[in-house]
Structure 1
Amino acid sequence: MSHRISRPATAFRPGRLRVVAAAALAGSAAVVALTGCASFEYKEDICMGNEYPVLTVNGTGGACVSNGEEPPAGFARYPEGKVPQEVDDKWDVYWNTHTLDKDGKIIDAPDAG
């Protein structure tokens, strides 16, 4: 009489487990190699899709205004071509040290100091 130990059909055999683990590791490495780290970079929009950004006149503050509405008192639209789109993009950084005066002229921000 032989003694045979049975195991469930779903149990992995040691050799099969190593093959599955190696395949998963190789697949993960391929994804990282093909996509690169830059693809995981998160960029935050200045405003939501149904809004546009405005800046504080004579200051570096800002706000978002619903499309179709005018900026509130004390705020102005950014000059065309100089509108920030994402946090820390070229124009967002620029407007940290610049602003518009009451006549719409670009000036150094008084509180940029």
Structure 2
Amino acid sequence: MAKPQRHVFICTQNRPPEHPRGSCAAKGSSAVLQAFWAELQKRQAYEKIAVTYSGCLGPCDLGANVLVYPERVLYRGVTPADVDEIFTSHLEGGTPVERLIAADAIW
């Protein structure tokens, strides 16, 4: 496997429903992860992009959270409908999707 140009981490942290911080799993991160894996397969981008599920990335109440390296861009509130745009604009085109980026004060 070649070294990827970008690495995407999708938070799949799961906490009890009454937990004060909430969790990305409760906000649909499993569907987001599946959408990233499907898009990776559709585009046959295995040599350029790595997609990995992760534990907590920080701002749980803003999930589902997605972190992209090497740019260190944290996306918040990501849904499966956003995945195609993230792939096209950021992962392949190099331009982050501004409307989904978590504010600097948050992360």
Q: Please report the TM-score for the alignment, with normalisation by the length of structure 1.
A: 0.25
More helix by percentage: 2
Larger radius of gyration: 1
Q: Please report the TM-score for the alignment, with normalisation by the length of structure 2.
A: 0.26
